[in-house]
Amino acid sequence: MLHIWGAREAFICDEHFSIVHNGGIAFEENVDKILAVGEYDTLCSQFPNAKMQFFPQGVLLPALINAHIHFEFGAHFAQFCYGDFGTWLDSLMDSRDEVLHIQNTYFESILTQGINEQINAGVGSVGAVSSYGYDMSALALSPLRVVYFNEAIGSNPSAIDFLYANMLERLNNAKNLSSPTFTPAIALHSPYSLHPIMAQKLIDIAAKDKLPLSTHFLESAHEREWLTQNSGYFKTFFQRFFHIENPQSFYSPQSFLDMLSPLRDTPLSLTHCLHIKEEEAKSIESLQASIITCPRSNRLLNNAFFSRSHLHNKQIPLALGTDGKSSNNNVNLLDELRVSLYAYPQEDILALAKSLLLSATLYGAKALGLNNGTLSEGKNVDFAIFEFSQPLFYPNQSRPNQSPLQFILHAKTPSHLYINAKAVL
Ligand code: MCF
Ligand code: FE
C-alpha cells in the first residue's frame, strides 16, 4: 500500500533548511525508502491510488535524532552533585551502585520509560552509549533506530585484559543483534579513562568493520589540565581511587585525535568538546568527524555551553544529544532544543533555530552514520508529524517565516511517528 503524508509545512532538513509549504512524502508501507518528496498535491496526482493524509495545521519533518544518551543511568534522580565535573564524578563513583543496581523489574521499567520519552518527543534514532550492556536487548527490541555504542573504559594495565574481553563480548552480542534498526558500534569513554592499548585495538576493529565510533572529549577544564599538564583534579582522582602514586596522562589532546585518524571514512563523533581550542577544531575537521553537544548536561556539570565558533562556519557538523539522566532532568530532545535556543543569545534567533533543528536531524544522522535525518528520495522512512492548535505561519503575510523557531517553542509530542516505514505513534 502506497502512502502520502503531507502537512502545511514540511521541514526538509537539508543543508539550506528548505521548507515546502503544503509539502509531503510518498512511500510504500513497510518499505524503508522514501519514494518522493515535494508538494502534497503534486504527489497526490503522481500516485493517485495512494492512501493520502494531510495535516492543515501540522509540521512534517524527519524523525528527530538524539545522538548521545545513556539509557542505563535512567534511574538517576538527584543523587549526583552538579556544578563542577570533579564533584559530579566523585558523586557518581560514590552512588553509582544505588543508581545501577536496582531491582530487575524496576530497571526494565526505567529503560522502557527512557525509550518512550524518545518516541514521545518525536525521536526516531538514538546514539545509545552503553557502559555495561544492560540496555542492549531492550533497545534492540524497541521500535527506535539504535546505534549502540558499547563503551570501553579502563586505565589500569592489570585490569585491561579482563575489560577488553568484556568489551569484545558485549560487541559480539550487539553484532548478533544487528538489524536495519540496530547498528553495533564502539565508544571510547574518554582520553582520561582509557588505556591506549585497548583504545588502539578498538580503533582497528572500528576501521576494519566500518563501525561508528564515538568518544567523550575535552568535556571539562580538569580534563584539559590533565591532558596538557598532568595535574589537577584527575591527578588526585587516580591517586584516590586507584592508589597510583604518580599518575601520568596517556595522551595529549592532539595525540588522542591523531590516534583516531584511521577512522576518516567511518562515522566518528566527539561528544562535548567544551574545552577544545582552534588546533583541535582543525584536527576534528580534517578527521571529517562530528561534534555532539549536550547543552543541559554541559551547564550542569561544567557551567558552559559549546562554543559554536569552533564549527568553522558549519564545516564541522554539530549533532545534539540529551546525555543521560545522570546529567539531566529528563532525556527529552525537544526540551534540549528549547534550552539551546536560550543558550546563544548573541546569534540571530531564526538562523539559530534552523541550525538547531538540523543538529537534531541531518547532523545527527551524519554523526551516527544513518541514512535518515532529511526528507529526500532514497532515505529511510523515519518521519514525524506534529500538529498545533494554530498554524505556525501564514505565507500571505509579509513577515519572515519563523516556523522553525515557533516549532522549537511549541512542539510537545508528535501525533504521528514513523520509524523504519512503520507507524510507531
Ligand atoms: O557524558 C556524561 C559526562 N561525561 C562522562 N560520562 C558520562 C556521562 N553521562 C554518563 N556517563 C557515564 C560514562 O558512560 O559515567 C561513567 C561512564 O560509565 C563515568 S566513569 C568515569
Ligand atoms: Fe555522555
- What stretch of H or E contains 268? strand 268-272
Rounded to two decimals, what is the model's pTM? 0.99
Confidence label for 396 from pLDDT (cuts 50, 70 and 90): confident
Q: Is the pLDDT of residue 162 over 90?
A: yes
Which of the ligands is closest to the CA of residue 214?
A: 2
Question: 379 burial class (0-12, 13-18, 19+ CB within 10 angstroms)?
Answer: buried
In this prediction, residues 200-204 reach a mean pLDDT of: 98
* Percent of the chain at pLDDT exceeding 70: 100
Nearest CA to ligand 1 atom 4: 216
- For 303-330, how does the pLDDT look when each residue is reduced to its tens digit (9 = 90+)? 999 999 999 888 999 999 999 999 999 9
Domains contained in the chain, CATH given: 2-62+372-423 (2.30.40.10), 64-368 (3.20.20.140)
- For 266-292, how does the pLDDT look when each residue is reduced to its tens digit (9 = 90+)? 999 999 999 999 999 999 999 999 999
Mean pLDDT (the chain, rounded): 97
* Residue written as grid cell 557518581: 92
Among candidate residues 394, 392, 373, the one with its CA nearest the CA of residue 384: 373
Instruction: State the catalytic residue, choosing from 72, 219, 223, 280.
Output: 219
Ligand 1 binding pocket (C-beta < 6 A) is 70, 73, 89, 92, 129, 131, 151, 189, 193, 216, 219, 297, 323-324, 326-327
Which of the ligands is closest to the CA of residue 85?
A: 1
Ligand 1 centre and the CA of 241: distance in Å? 16
Complete DSSP assignment for 149-171: EEEE-B--GGGHHHHHHHHHHHH
Question: 110 burial class (0-12, 13-18, 19+ CB within 10 angstroms)?
Answer: buried
Ligand 2 centre and the CA of 395: distance in Å? 41
Ligand 1 centre and the CA of 409: distance in Å? 29
Q: Does 285 qualify as catalytic in the annotation? A: no
Ligand 2 centre and the CA of 325: distance in Å? 10
